[in-house]
A and B are shown apart, each in its own frame.
Chain A
């Protein structure tokens, strides 16, 4: 329950900020750590005002070292605190990979459940913001393929609030992926109603022809594509996964079985990506309900391009509709 319940128009950045503030007011064990999260409020202002309200000890500007940040958070969690770590950008989380993979992900398992690490690692991710090299990576596949980590990513203002609160409350470690290009998206935020459980997909648009399965930064593009598809005579559903781990097989399969055609859309590279896992799971579970193979629309299998070329790389409406057109309609 939130102390401050109100309905207002908020950006996703503001919703995340509110989630942190409300959680910190309720739970004194929640501590934020990261680069520039204090006085500056983070480079995306997600922690704006939190150091002023809660003090430097609860919203700590750390030295500039991601492995150090996450390793320190592990020790804090071992002593009963609930750290929320901010990685400044997707690619700058890589120095913390060893702490994440070797310790955060495995601690519960290594200690036969005696030691849990309720750490939330917030990572701004993805492109589409004109960022130069190393500022636009989609790193979800690395995290999703590491057992022991929950991987959560909101695509709406309400979910940003609800999912972040649920992630911090989780006793499992969560990699919380924030789609940078949606930070400035706006919507009504009702903090009392914005409850989003980790592990549940949600249907954003109903449709009878096929379903676009997506998450995070690609949701708005999919909704746009679904709108444009009406002109072509297709009635597309859009499913927002919200959690990549745990994966909501039940909801995904229910929708796929009802429409019989599916396209997975994400901006991350395709090869070995999350979309491959989704396509495989859907095929394994829903084969006899499918009228066509599950297709993927993803970023190309290339390092993220320079900003002036990124629009060629990112899945857009046309590329999604091209895939929909290939779903064996004539058969």
Chain B
């Protein structure tokens, strides 16, 4: 059953012909009656053990990354950290389904996905450390800057995917958003453009239940966020966002569909933000501890470890190896973030335009003179 099933397959009598007639596309735009799950189902047996172990390894290392980043905020080493703790399955899968030439369009919460693309954690986190806006090279890493103004990255992903298609290149763009971001106009414009242009783009909405304090019930009256795809004429998939295998599967299908000319897909991943919005937020003001505890039972790492162990695909040694790798990463982050960053005041003026204006040159000289005078004192 899909929402389109009640639609007539032939034009309704009395409708005007041509453009004003109702569209009768029978394509099942909402194919998932329930969130897609693989863990805990017989489907799991059909997966390559290497893929499953790799997903597990990345989840464990990713969790440790999140924990360490949050700790760094407490030590004043990061200005702010919007943690993806509890959402690692989405972060990890989003990075894994993309090839080298594909592009990722992350939001502020997605540094783990950025690291998953191969970006160094120190470079991925300069924005949140407060030392530089974007610490990595977007072109070299095929990763757009972390985007803070909500949903504004979605049309960028569409445009990039459209350009790749115009150039006859197989690149796919994947844009990451939150549930709250789906309320912004840019999200809707992006979906519409993507569908009209048949752009090879995938929208991953991590529905983590909240936009800061605002629960989904106040955000949307739609039966699901995946439903929003239908009005634009693209498939809307629904997946258990804490089932890393399911997220990987659904995203990989959407990427493949985009790459082969099938057009865009909207994926809604049901997940939960286990920590506060950021370290600056007090989540006790708007949600109950029991809710968090309930979701902890559905933790992506817990699910993965339980199912893989049950399937005989994971042993103590593999668990220990992943844990050790996480500790190594955390130790490296501690060392690197406790060192003072090199900051160049002249950099303020360096990249405002291709060539600094005469005004900016003057202002750079002014600052340099001020700093020189300060140094003399």
Contacts and interface: CB of A to CB of B under 8 A. Distances in A.
Interface stretch (B87-95, B163-171, B263-271, B339-347): B339-347
A306 B146 CA distance: 14
B367 A300 contact: yes
A307 interface: yes
A301 B363 contact: yes
Contacts of B4: none
Interface in A44-70: 61-65, 67-68
Contacts of B186: 95
A145 interface: no
Given A65-B183, A308-B131, 5 more contacts: A40-B213, A92-B150, A130-B79, A133-B133, A271-B359
B349 A61 contact: no
Interface string B176-218: 0000110111100000000000000000000000011110001
Q: Which of A40, A92, A134 has the most CB of B within 10 A?
A: A40
B367 A68 contact: no
20 contacts: A35-B212, A36-B213, A40-B213, A63-B214, A64-B183, A64-B184, A91-B148, A130-B130, A132-B128, A133-B133, A134-B148, A300-B349, A300-B367, A302-B360, A307-B79, A308-B341, A309-B345, A312-B345, A312-B367, A319-B370
B149 interface: yes
Contacts of A147: none
Contacts of B213: 36, 38-40, 61
A301 B131 contact: no
A39 B217 CA distance: 14
A301 B359 contact: yes
Contacts of A35: 211-212, 214
A131 B213 CA distance: 20
Nearest to B345: A312
B247 to A, nearest CB: 23
B214 to A, nearest CB: 5
Given A271-B359, A301-B363, A319-B370, A65 B185 contact: yes
Given A39-B213, A302-B352, A61 B127 contact: no
A273 interface: no
A259 B147 CA distance: 48
Interface string B336-377: 000001010101110010000101100100010010001000
B285 interface: yes
B130 A308 contact: yes
A191 to B, nearest CB: 26
Interface string A286-317: 00000000000000111101111100110000
A63 B220 contact: yes
A230 to B, nearest CB: 20
A100 B79 CA distance: 32
Interface string B214-254: 10001110000000000000000000000000000000000
A171 interface: no
Contacts of B150: 64, 92
B47 interface: no
Given A67-B185, A309-B347, A300 B211 contact: no
A41 interface: yes
B127 A312 contact: no
Contacts of B133: 133, 306
A64 B181 contact: yes
Interface in B109-138: 126-133
Nearest to A42: B213
A322 B184 CA distance: 45
Nearest to B349: A302
Contacts of B98: none
Contacts of B348: 300, 302, 305, 309, 312-313
A26 interface: no
A115 interface: no
A130 B347 CA distance: 18
A52 to B, nearest CB: 11
B132 A306 contact: yes
Contact of B183 (A68, A92, A300, A312): A68
B158 interface: no
B214 A61 contact: yes
A63 B188 CA distance: 14
B212 A63 contact: no
B251 to A, nearest CB: 24
B150 to A, nearest CB: 6
B141 to A, nearest CB: 18
Contact of A133 (B127, B180, B181, B345): B127
B286 A39 contact: yes
B59 interface: no
A271 B358 CA distance: 12
A184 interface: no
B144 interface: no
A43 interface: yes
B185 A40 contact: no
A60 B341 CA distance: 42
Contact of B218 (A63, A303, A307, A312): A63
Contact of B352 (A63, A67, A301, A307): A301
A41 B285 contact: yes
A91 B149 CA distance: 8
B61 interface: no
B78 to A, nearest CB: 10
Contacts of B184: 64-65, 95
Given A64-B150, A309-B347, A36 B185 contact: no
A43 B214 CA distance: 12
A214 to B, nearest CB: 20
A134 B152 CA distance: 13
A134 B108 CA distance: 12
Nearest to B180: A64
A64 B214 contact: yes
Interface string A106-138: 000000000000000000000000111111000
A94 interface: yes
A-B pairs with lowest CB-CB distance, top 6: A40-B213, A307-B130, A63-B183, A64-B180, A64-B183, A65-B183
A127 to B, nearest CB: 12
Nearest to B212: A36
